[in-house]
Structures are given as C-alpha cells and as structure tokens.
Structure 1
C-alpha cells in the first residue's frame, strides 16, 4: 500500500484553546471564570495562536524532507519552456533600401516579450507564392477541346499537355486550417513559385538595382498535418536520416532579355541560387538565406508571346495585371535532384513560405546584472533577480573573467593541484583535457547560482565582482495566435512586424508536487529509454506539449504491423486538446517534433523509434430507445449521445475511462449495454453500427494504431433510423424503378 504522510500534529486553534481550558480545574481550581472576557482566557488564546503557528511550521518538515530528497537525487523541477515561432517584417513605407535589423531585437505580443534569433536584412519587397494546380479529371475533356488546338504546335513525340490553374498558396489564417501543398503530388511541374514584387510606389527596375547582390531571407514551414516521425538508429555514415532538401532557382535570362526566334530554343532556363538553410527545411521549420545575383540577372524575358506565358517551365501565368506588372523576378522552389529520403519517397509538403522572416523566442534579456562580490568561502551562492532563466543564455563573469556552467560540481577540478605530481602535468602527458575549474551550477527555476568548494571548483576570490547577462521567460503565455506579435520599440520607421503562424512550445515550469510524483519513475528508468514503461513515463513528461495519452508498442513497425520487428519501438501519442478535432485529437508536426526532440537523447543508439498519432476509423451509430414515461425525451436522447461519445473517446473512453483500448473491437452488444445504463432509458430497441459506406455491422475490428472516431450518432424513440439516413447517403436502387433526376423548367412568362 502507498505510504501516506501524516501531519505531525493536526490540532486546530480551537482545539488547543479548549484543551487548555479543560486543564484549568486540574491545575488552578480557584479560576472559575472561563469566559472570553477574562484576561487569562485571552492569554490562553494568544498561546494557542502561537502554538498553532509552530505546529504549522512543524508540519512543513515532511515537505522539506521531500524537497531535500529531490536535491540529493539531483532532481530539480523542470524549468519553463520558451515558446518559439517566426515573425515577418514588411518595409511598406520605409526607404527603398535594405534595412538591417540586429539579432536580439525585442518585439512584443501585448506585454509578452520576444526576441529575434538572427540578424536580418529587410528587403523593400513584397512576395506572393503561386503553384500550378492540377485540373480535376472531370474538367480535362472540356478544357482539352478548347486548348488542344491552340497548343498543338507545342506537342512533340513523347510530350503530353498538362493543364493547370494558377493558384496562390494563401498565408495562414486564424479562422481556418493552415493549408498544405505537396510539391510532388499537387502541382504541375513539381515546384512552388515565389513572385518577388516591387512596392506599389516603386519602379521595378529601380527595385532590381536596390536588391542586387543582397541576401534575401526566406522562412519555410513544412506541413503541420504530419502524423508520423521516425528516429532512426544512429549510424556513423549518417545514412539513417533523410537528406532531402529544397532547391531555389531564378530565371536564367539571356543578356539582352530576348529569347531566340527558333521555337525549339524558346525554353525557360534557370540558375540555382546560393542557399544557406538553417536546417532540413522538409523536416522542420527554418530559414534559408538566398544570395541574389546582380541586377541584370534578375530580369525576366522581354519577348514572351501571350501564348507562351505559363507554358512549359515558364513561371505560372498571372491574370491579375497589378501583380504581373510589379514582378521583379521569380524564385522557383523544387525538390533537389540529389535528395535521398530515408524511406525512398520524398515528403515535400509545405504550408507557408515568407520572405523577410526570422525565428523568435519568447524571453526578455538582463544585461550586466551585479550579483555581489566573492567572499572566498566554499559553496558561495548568489541569486539572479529574474526567473525562470533560460540556461543556455547565461553568461557569468567573476572579476571580469568568464566562468563555465556545469551540471555537477563534483566533476570540477581543484583550484590548486595537490600531490607529489601535478595533476595538470599528468593530464598534459596523457593528452586528456583536465576537468574545468572556473565553474558554477544553475537552478533555472529559482535562479540560484552555486560555486565550488575549492576542492571541486574554484571559489570566487574575495572582492571579485560577480556579474551575469541572461535571458528569462517561458511559459504558456508565449503561445500566441497569428498576428499577436505586432510591435517593437526599436523598429525602424515604415517597418511593420507580425507573426504569420502561431507560436509553439511554451510550457509552464514543473511544480514540486509533479517533481515528487516523478521520483519513483526516475529511479526506475534513470532518464533512459530501455523498457516499454520507460518510454511511457518519459514521453508523458515531454515539456512544451499537453499529452493526453501514450501507448508504447515494442517490436511493432507501423508499416509492417503483422510482423515482429526487432529493435523497433512505436510510440502512439494523442494530444490532450485539439481545437480542430476535439473528439479525435491528432498530433501535428510541431507536436511530434517536440516529442522526438525529447526522446532522441534518451534512447539507445540502436533503437528505431516511430512516433505516430492514432489511425481513426470513422464510425456511425444509430440507436432506438424507449424513454421512461414522464421523462423529457430530448434530455434523455442527449444523455445517450454523450454516453456513447464518451465511451468511444480515445482519451476517456472504455470501461476503465482511460481511452478506448487498442486492438479492441467495437460491437453493438457493448454499445447496447452503455445505452441501457443511461438514466431515463426504459429499454433499447436497436443499435446499428457502420462505417462510412455499407450496411450495418455487428462489430468493427481495431488493429495496430487504429482507434474509433464516432463521426455521427442518431438517437430516436422507437426504432433506430437507417444508417444511410444518418450518413446522408442514398442506398442503391432495386433496379425495378427508374431513379428520378429533377430538372428545372424555365417559365414562359414572368
């Protein structure tokens, strides 16, 4: 049984007073006035108050002991996590010139501070992203009859016309799902096209001259609807991870801007830009710096015929003349030819591209804070004024010399070498690096800094000034919506800022109670992923995300569910909240990236880890019930609907209310029992269960990562409604009577 921690003394103020009054006849029988007006009773109440305060402090001893045990184990509470995101600058009314913004520029979302992570040259440009969208098969015949004769001259042997519509990749909106485009599957030509536009008041040629030989920073956000991430076993050749990348190109126009007159030579050519990506842009959000060429290389073709515009490899045709006349140049974004994905198939799904963008992190900065002076004593401690601290940002100097942060002072060397042979000499002879001496430890949550004892780590010299520069912040306050980051005190005139996508990853610090509950699990797994229980415990405490459920499937490969896969572990995660799909929460790419970043340093190097969301099977249910006489029908029907939805929930469903268990079929008998237990239901006449198509089924199997998703439910008095009626589908005809097709008739007169 669990060990309960009792109070050392649970007496209240009133109990102490009454106990003291009860002792009066024993010790002073002549004291007979026990009313509150008596001065002696007043003194007893004072002593009782002081005793209660002392008992309260005594009862804190167990909690202090628990905190001390945490400290002895080296288990501090997890610090707050800072939210991350991107901001985009627009030079709408500023000078026609690149404006350089420094790294660490402070921006605000309301009162929440953010800082940019890189310097940025804001170009006096606008940009829109287009793609050549494939036409649906239903329109091909109609379009082909019109356009095939016009473009017949373009046809050669082995060439087939591919019709498309020019569509814009709309920027994310807070009122809609963030879009996603698959470069390989959703576009004709397998490319995205970025139109760099001059501002309304600027000339195109002048803008080309201004941005020539400069750097354009582009942010790329991969699609957020990914439901899987894989951590491959570590390999010395690096072949375990994907090397897929994007290629950025601009038109390679002849020096005079004129295409040859020979039709066979009138084709679009492109030159690759020097691209410096910050990360694998197909795997995680990041930026890429593009070095633009000279002004002449930014021009477009001057003699394109109207029938040639948008054909072949030429940029997509733009019908809006206002946009077409402001195009400075095009940037074609496509998958690199040498992309080598791990699974043999390139996943190039893009949700957003934006110029003049830079990553931001939610924090504020303190520069040169004086923490005190050294006293020469062991274990000296100093306190930072602002918390929680971002550990990687702390720069500490003692007497003007920078000291190093370390995890454990026991790993530090002595400030003075002892023994017959110098330790430094022995390290020099062996070629090993001696342990650091000028070190300190930091508790990010409390801001407490501790120095060494002299034996393990140097003591700050007497009178040496201790100064710190650091960043602080973090928490859920940094998770803001689109457009929330919109101001900054040091923004140049004419420059605006906004975050085109929501920020992510902010999380509040762990409480002491949560840290205490983590002790048994930590003692078991030691922060290493070995057993299935280790995976479950460590995944559940991933900072920066709210995880509602974790299922660990050892020896299970999601692509080979029927075979046992040695060295493979699949972790199914379900978020606690999902505003888009509240009944069937799905992890997005940022969620999966956060979980993978937490698991990767803790797994064995030989383990292949697949982090997946559930695979939902869409179910429909129709129920017919009889309501107890005298009860309102509508509330009972609502209660039945809610009971079935709750029972099939991936988070609180099942009989144990921990989520519908995997590999458990959904059957009508179980649903009938759930409905029968609803208050107000007299009897259950019928329960129908079905999928998106087909008739009613007695049961629906769930295998692997499959979980039920109740799309719709109908509750009726008497018999259950047919599933086709509930789904809005029409059952196939019996073949005896013709199907009616309504046709409007135009009236002869109005």
Structure 2
C-alpha cells in the first residue's frame, strides 16, 4: 500500500494555540480568552481558513502546475537536437550534397541542415601578413590552435591568405566556415541573432589570385561575397563566395615552396574591439543536426497560370517516395497523380509530371495547362510535395478514426518524435464523391483554447500517443472504415546523446555522395542537444524569465538588456538617467526624458573602446525595449589615466618590494576585472588618495606611507584641493606608469 503523504504540517488546534500564546505579548489588555469571547471566535475562524488553504494548496497536482505555467506563458520545452559543423574532404569532382543528407556518428543519425556544393579542393596553407611580419599558420589550422586572423593589433591593411591545392570552380558557391576562438571570460550573448541586427566596426574584403589584363599577368581580383555569417570575423559562421573568372597559381611568401591558388581576406577598415583569433577555417563545411527525417513537405504558391513548374532541393525529395497535393475550391487537399507525360491527361485530370536532375540533384514538378492536365488554383501555399522514405511508406498511416470523442492512438513505436516537425492529416470521402480529401490538423499543448470546430490534436511525447478532441474542446474526426490518419511531416531525434565529441561524425555512404572517396568529420563537438524539459526545470525557468526585464524603464533594466545584445561581448554597462552627452554640471543640471547608456566591450586592451558598429548594435537592440518618451544615447566609456606617486617606508628586508606595490596599484586602477580578486573601477567614482593609502598600507612589510600625490590625464576630470581625482559619470580609470619610492625604516 502506498504511503499517504501528510498534506498539512500545521493542524487547527496548533494554529489556535500559537495565536492565543501571542495575545499577552501583542495585546496585554486582552484578558478574556474563553470560548465565548468574539476575538477567540475570530482566531478560530482564521485558523480554520488557513488550514483549508494549506490543505488544498498541498493537493496541487502536476496537471494543475502545468496549467499555472501556461497562465504565465510558459510551456515545457520539447526535446532539442544537437548541432555541429561537418567538413567533407576527398571529393574527386564537383558534387552537390542536398539538405538532409544522412550521416552517422556511431549509432546516431545526423542530417545536414543546408545544401552544400562540394568542390574538389583543400586548404593547404594559411598565411597572415601585416605591415611588420608574415607568418605561416597552416599547422595551427590543422591542429585547431588559435591564431590571430590579422595579427594581434588587427591594423588596417593586414591580410589573411588561404592557399588551395587546386583552383576553385568559377560561378560556383564556395562555402568557407570560420571557427573563432570563443573561450573568453565574457561570453557572447546567446540571444537569437536577427538579420542585420549585429554590426561590425571593422570591414573585410575578399579577393583571389587571377589573370590580369589580357589574361597574362597575375592580379588580385575582387570576389563576389554572397553572404557572411561571421559579420566580418566577429563571430563564428559561414562565408559564401563566388568567383567570376579562373584562378591562377602564385608563389606567396612565406609559403613560396611552390605555386598555389590563393584567396585573400584584407582588413579594409579596422576597429575590432577584440582582435579575431581563428581556431580553424575549412572548406566544404555545412551544419548538421542529430535527427532522422521520415517525411517532409515542400510548399509553393500557385499563380493559377497554365504550365507551372516548381523545384525542390532536398535529399528526401530526391531519393524518397512522393505524394503531390493541391488545394481544391473548399481549401481541402487532394492527392494528384504523378504521370510520365501530361499529354495523356485530360483537361479535368488531376495529374502532374515529376522529373529529377541527376547533376543538380533537384526534383521538379510540372503541372498541366488546362488542356492536358488541370491547372492548380491560385493561392498561397497551394501546392505541396510530400517526400518520405520507403520504410515509412506504411508506417505513416497511424490508423482510422472511430468518430468517438477523445480518441487516442499510439504513434511512437519506441521513438520520441519532435513535436515541431509534425504535420498530421485526416482524410474522408465527401458525400457524393468517390475520392478522398484530406485536411490538416494542428498540434496543440492542450484543448483549453480549442473550439468545437478546431481541427486540433495533442501529442504526448511521454506516452507516445496522439489524442483528438471531444466536439466541445476540439473537433472529433469523422468515422472511417480504413486508415485515414497519416503524417505528412515527421522527424525523430534530440537529446543529450547527440552531443558527440569531435571527430565522431564519420559515416557517409558512397551511395549518398556518389563518390566513394568522400569522407566527413566534425572538427568540433556537437552542442545543444537537450532532453525534453521536466516540470521542475520549467518552474525554475519561469522564475528566471519573470525576473528578466522585458521593458527598459529603470537604469537597471537598460543595463541588463544591453548585456543581451546579440553577437557582442559586453563587459560592462552603465545607464545614466537624465544625462545627455555633452552636458556640463551633471547631476546639478539634468535633462528630462534622456537616457545615456555607457558600454565597455570585452577586450584584451587596457582601454577597451566600443566601435561605431558595437554602439549601433546595442542601440538597435535597446530601441525595441525603451519607452516612446525616452531619448536614448549609447556612447563608449571615457578613460582617465591615473598615475600614482608615492613614498613608502618599509621594513628593512622588504625595502626592494616595489614591484608588489605596483602590481596592487595596477589591480586597483583598471577598468575591467582581470583575474581573481580584481574588480573593475566603478563608473564615475572619485579616485581618493585614501584609496591608495589603504591599498599600500595593508601590504606586507609596509611601515607607513610617507607621501602620496596623484596625476591624471584625459577629458572631463578635475583635481580638487585635497589632491583627489573627480571623474565624470561615464568615465573609468586605468593605470599610468606609477612611481613608488621605497625607504627603509632604518634609513630615516
């Protein structure tokens, strides 16, 4: 027998007794504590109400907790797939690897998330040339040892050269993946990066070694930059390039042992907050996820014109079985027949042709012109191609509808599917017709907001079932004698097992690539794989999300939101209300409806300074959250150099310990945290001589500090009569070349 939990830890009698014991302390004039006293009656009433509340609160079930989370807009997150970059090598000829190409890592299946044009070339040499040096980092690139892409200073005019063993093809999309070093103390925000939201102050341009005028001399020709997900080498990502003419071999120092084919990346405009360090740059790289696709849908808009042609480009569309669906006048889906030739079709026949290009590996649909084959009606997402594996052909039919409320069917068969990948259809034969029409049904978390006419169903990943409504909350599917419930789109995968180590994604079938010499690997580990979120984890997440600001009202809101700007490493932020850049006598004089945000990027420099791209990115990010009545300014921090001059009297054996004092002063006067025990100087905080006295006096061997005076350099500060340095609210300090004179106590 299961133990019965104690739902109430405080009983009625206990609460009444505790309340009566407090009466003499709180109200000594209350002397009548007998049952007839109205006050005692009220105490008993409150104790009874409290006991009932505790009892029912302790009876909150898991289902109730999920409802409470839903009221807060929180749903437990489904399983997530791990992702990684995979690199293909060994191709003998140019190939096309379609989106969804299957790969294996031990017993796990991965699929590529994009189409890759595989070119028969490899990166042999990686060179970096600056105004003062030239270095060969090819071995670093092979061993994944980080090196500076444009030198430690990243000055304008620096070059990154990539040498290939053979010429890259012309008019072909070349895919380069750049993995930057990212293990810094300040991480990059994981917020979703929207297109155009992250800007870079620095700018790079690409060129390649080709034929000059007349095709005789060597020349550096510009490359058409198709896309740059690295945002000019500020984050890891893919760069897609395209050449307009043939490459020419060239011997380039310090890799001038033989001629190679070169791509050159030139830093045309500097301004990096953190000089980029490359761990690995690879060719023929695409992103892959741990998942298995059983069926997928590709949709197109129809113009309603005769002879329409649609093209799909995916692995499953090219290798799988196919079903073509088109909407009818009532918005229902009908399966159309795939024929070899539309000439054999009549004007009312629902048919189309399906052809495949073996070179580009594309799948093309062609519809009729109204004479030979029916023309699809005009509309958005009016035509779809369903592609599925041969093994899934039978399993895609879940079962038949019984016409009963809350019908439940088992679908998992030992697999956990990804809810966001599901597309379910239910079919029926309309009265007076002999062909089946299909309607899409939508997955929901529950039927709370479902009306009686909504085609909704609930997928329970834990039980591996789907459940339909009851005609009050969710529509009941029509009864059918044959299987009429099927999946059009379905994927499995996800979980922590997909977070495989580097080098484990190695399996790719020769039948998939068409070239037995092609191999694949993942240079870096797969990340991001998560199990489905438990209820306890969801409750912890809601606490964090409710505490996170969603509107920028207070200064603390601005500071917290600025640190989440996507694609940036924001080390420090200071929001100054009622301040406008250029104001004097602040805070004695203030500016209404003004908010100035001072930002400090993470940098290895003593004076980290945000560039215009960094500032603009944060401003664009904050603009989404600020109040309409607030004028926002985002500025870099100002730096005041503070130099300490001190005369310190030491114990005789510590007389030469000047270096230790200098290190402590440098640790005190710095704009950012540098190591354990170090703290960055607070924005706008005055540098008092007492701060310096305190730091030096507590050091071992110091007898006393004889004299201290401070010097400062910069804009906006002033030095008072006591020798203290007052800095503006948007400023920080950094250390100058401190001068410390030590005198032995016996020398006085």
TM-score (norm 1): 0.50
Choose from 497, 500, 507 the match for 1:489: 507
Per-residue Cα deviation, 1:386-417 (whole angstroms, up to 9, x for no partner) = 999877x52332437654567997887x564x
CA distance in 1, matches of 2:106, 2:704: 55
CA distance in 1, matches of 2:500, 2:668: 29
1:217 and 2:175 equivalent? yes
CA distance in 2, matches of 1:446, 1:611: 51
Determine the structure 2 residue equivalent to 1:194.
162
1:179 and 2:130 equivalent? no
1:317 and 2:226 equivalent? no
Determine the structure 2 residue equivalent to 1:123.
119
**TM-aligned CA deviation for residue 470 of structure 1:** 3.5
CA distance in 1, matches of 2:272, 2:670: 35
Determine the structure 1 residue equivalent to 2:287.
360
**TM-aligned CA deviation for residue 109 of structure 1:** 8.1
Q: What is the correspondence of 1:97-108 to structure 2 with a 5 Å cutoff?
A: 97-105=93-101
CA distance in 2, matches of 1:691, 1:170: 48
Determine the structure 1 residue equivalent to 2:263.
331
**TM-aligned CA deviation for residue 519 of structure 1:** 6.9
Determine the structure 2 residue equivalent to 1:514.
540
For structure 1, the residue ranges without an aligned partner over 5 or more in a row are 1-5, 12-54, 137-163, 199-206, 260-266, 302-314, 417-436, 628-636, 721-750
Contact 2:641 2:713 in 1 (8 A): no
Q: What is the correspondence of 1:593-612 to structure 2 with a 5 Å cutoff?
A: none
**TM-aligned CA deviation for residue 277 of structure 1:** 1.8
CA distance in 1, matches of 2:64, 2:275: 52
For structure 2, the residue ranges without an aligned partner over 5 or more in a row are 1-5, 12-53, 296-394, 428-438, 511-515, 652-658, 715-721
**Secondary structure of 2:165's aligned partner:** strand
Contact 1:89 1:357 in 2 (8 A): yes
CA distance in 2, matches of 1:410, 1:166: 65
**Secondary structure of 1:277's aligned partner:** strand
**Secondary structure of 1:8's aligned partner:** coil
CA distance in 2, matches of 1:333, 1:495: 28
The structure that is strand-richer by fraction is 2
CA distance in 2, matches of 1:689, 1:446: 74
The 3 A distance-change label for structure 1 pair 7 and 624 is: farther
CA distance in 2, matches of 1:571, 1:389: 46
CA distance in 1, matches of 2:672, 2:734: 8
Per-residue Cα deviation, 1:648-706 (whole angstroms, up to 9, x for no partner) = 89679999x9986432245452465578889x999765797989999xx9766665565
Per-residue Cα deviation, 1:489-519 (whole angstroms, up to 9, x for no partner) = 2265544545567878788969345335347
1:394 and 2:344 equivalent? no
CA distance in 2, matches of 1:377, 1:559: 70
CA distance in 2, matches of 1:490, 1:196: 24
1:287 and 2:238 equivalent? yes
Determine the structure 2 residue equivalent to 1:662.
683
**Secondary structure of 2:211's aligned partner:** coil
How many residues in Structure 1 have an aligned counterpart in Structure 2? 555
CA distance in 2, matches of 1:239, 1:544: 9
Q: What is the correspondence of 1:250-649 to structure 2 with a 5 Å cutoff?
A: 250-253=208-211, 257-259=215-217, 268=219, 270=221, 272-273=222-223, 275-277=225-227, 279=229, 281-282=231-232, 285-292=236-243, 297-298=245-246, 300=248, 317-324=252-259, 327=260, 329-333=261-265, 351-352=277-278, 354-360=281-287, 363-365=290-292, 367=294, 377=405, 393-399=420-426, 402-404=440-442, 416=453, 437-438=454-455, 458-459=475-476, 465=485, 467=487, 469-470=490-491, 472-473=493-494, 478=499, 484-490=502-508, 494-497=517-520, 511-518=537-544, 521=547, 527-535=550-558, 552-553=575-576, 570=597, 572=599
Determine the structure 2 residue equivalent to 1:72.
71
Q: What is the correspondence of 1:140-155 to structure 2 with a 5 Å cutoff?
A: none
TM-score (norm 2): 0.50
Per-residue Cα deviation, 1:336-387 (whole angstroms, up to 9, x for no partner) = 9xxxx9xx98999765584524342554346469897667546989997999
The 3 A distance-change label for structure 1 pair 216 and 385 is: same
CA distance in 1, matches of 2:461, 2:624: 20
CA distance in 2, matches of 1:544, 1:537: 15
CA distance in 1, matches of 2:564, 2:248: 54
Q: What is the correspondence of 1:702-741 to structure 2 with a 5 Å cutoff?
A: none
The 3 A distance-change label for structure 1 pair 669 and 248 is: closer
Contact 1:625 1:682 in 2 (8 A): yes
CA distance in 1, matches of 2:76, 2:154: 46
